[in-house]
Amino acid sequence: MVEYIDPMRAIALSLYQKPTTDAEVASQLCFLTDLPAEETLSFLSTLTSDNKGVLVSPLDQRLSWFKRLPIDPTSFVFQPVTPHIPVRLANPASFVYVTTFRCAFNCKYCYAERRIGGHIELDLPQIDKIAQDCAESGCVGMQLSGGDPFARKDIIEVIDAFLCRGIHVQTSTKSILGRRVLERLSEIGLRQIQFSVDSLDGQYSQYMLGFQDHGKAIRDQVELASSLGIRVKTVTVLTPYNIGHLPELGEAMISAGTGKVIFTSYGRSLYRHSDELFISPEERRRAEHIVKGLQDKHPDAEVRLNARADHTELSDIEREKAFVSRARCTAGRESLVIYPNADVGFCESIPLDFFRIGNLAEQSLISLWQSDTMMELVQPPREKYLGTACFDCATFDECTRRGRCLRDSIKATGTAWAPDPRCHNVRQKRTRLT
């Protein structure tokens, strides 16, 4: 069996080259990632628990027939050919499939495009062809998105079309699925699912998404999914109005069987946005304290807070350090987006109206991946930035190699061909993102 894992887990597993302890590996991982020691130990505890068949205990070393097969990190870490050519895969490793723009909810913080009607959705035979195209193009993973994927009545058959071709499926939903749907998901081999949940407080849930008992319904759903062997992750968007709900919510999700509880701060959306939903530095520190308490009380669960200081809060030196060490953009380098009508786009968070690469009814996935339209987004010519700070910048080619966040440029300026608002060289008014 081959499992698709993220780079962080791959790096951590590669550190188990000889009989060692989690503490020793945590020390090395802290050095590599700058993560806090306690957070790293918690991460490794979950990792080793999930990979008992991969990691071997010291007792197993005494078995005469045992032959250790070390994981060589050079097998999955590679360097660009030259400093000025982006690291880009020959074929997409993964993709986001926006199955529908429909959603039963109307969340005030939603980052996704939502349309009530008037858009085309592929039927199952068309989806089956696309699933085959994706498999033949070398894709190994996908993220189902929307709207809400479970707004489609045939979503189980959609998931099965990709799973049966060996494509690892990740999906998230806010929907209340019910026993039969979860049983069918387990039967077809879905091994993990993400539930979005805001609070157990009915008044807050009613205000944020229009469903008073949503949090309690999700708690019951987590318990049922876990009993069916489906690993559950919950994600909660933090706003000033639900920070105080986190202890109760975290406890409820963990006790129901959630393996990962993620709290992430509200971020600016291109579709719906309100400054009042940003959390303050004081509220972020309060969330850090709450999450630390949950981590200490539940060491076997992975509880994580994604709520770093926004770039507008940083000093010039801090901004430069943060920008230089920013994560690589994977859009067009490792992944792309497929929309309900088979259009192909660049980034899920950017409206299709900005960048339409083509349509899978007319071209294959690999031909669109290699198209001039896609490559111009991956390697935009300097001339597109004429009149901006990027045009004359000495690090223009380095930004091209690492990948610019076109999404954040659009959020800040309305155009993709503008500096990343987080860049330390940007002198104009700074736009808050998180």
Q: What band does 59 get if pLDDT is binned at 50, 70 and 90?
A: very low
Strands 343-345, 335-338: parallel, antiparallel or unpaired by DSSP?
Answer: antiparallel
Closest by CA position to 412, among listed 314, 267, 277: 267
- Taking the complete model, does pTM exceed 0.85, yes or no? no
pLDDT at 200: 95
**pLDDT over 70 for what percent of the chain?**
87
CA dist 121 and 42 (Å) reads: 42
What confidence tens digit (pLDDT) does each residue in 119-170 have?
A: 789 999 999 999 999 999 999 999 999 889 999 999 999 999 999 999 999 9
Indicate the range of 114-123, 263-272, 365-374 predicted with least confidence.
114-123
Higher-pLDDT residue of 430 and 258 is 258
CB neighbours of 428 closer than 8 A, spacing ≥ 6? none
Q: What band does 68 get if pLDDT is binned at 50, 70 and 90?
A: very low
| Count of CB atoms situated within 10 Å of the CB of 320 | 14
Residue 51 has pLDDT above 70, yes or no: no
Q: In what order do the strands lie in the sheet with 302-306?
A: 302-306, 260-265, 231-238, 192-196, 168-173, 141-145, 94-98, 335-338, 343-345, 356-359
Instruction: Say if residues 234 and 196 touch (Cβ distance below 8 Å).
Output: yes
pLDDT at 74: 60
Provide the H-helix boundaries in 281-388. 281-297, 316-324, 365-369, 372-378
Tell me what the mean pLDDT of segment 1-22 comes to: 69
- The angle formed by the CA atoms of residues 87, 43 and 336, to the nearest 5 degrees, is 30
Q: What is the chain's mean pLDDT, rounded?
A: 86
What confidence tens digit (pLDDT) does each residue in 265-281 have?
A: 999 988 888 899 999 99
**pLDDT over 90 for what percent of the chain?**
61
Phi then psi dihedrals of residue 222, to 5 deg: -60, -45
Instruction: Say if residues 40 and 26 touch (Cβ distance below 8 Å).
Output: yes
Instruction: Say if residues 237 and 245 touch (Cβ distance below 8 Å).
Output: no
pLDDT at 176: 95
Cα-Cα end-to-end distance for the chain: 39
Indicate the range of 12-21, 131-140, 189-198, 284-293 predicted with least confidence.
12-21
| Radius of gyration for the alpha carbons in the chain, expressed in angstroms and rounded | 22
What confidence tens digit (pLDDT) does each residue in 382-432 have?
A: 999 999 999 999 999 988 888 889 999 999 999 999 999 999 888 777 889
In the numeric block, which tokens belong to residue 274?
């309100």
Q: Which one-letter amino acid corresponds to residue 314?
A: L
Instruction: Say if residues 73 and 11 touch (Cβ distance below 8 Å).
Output: yes
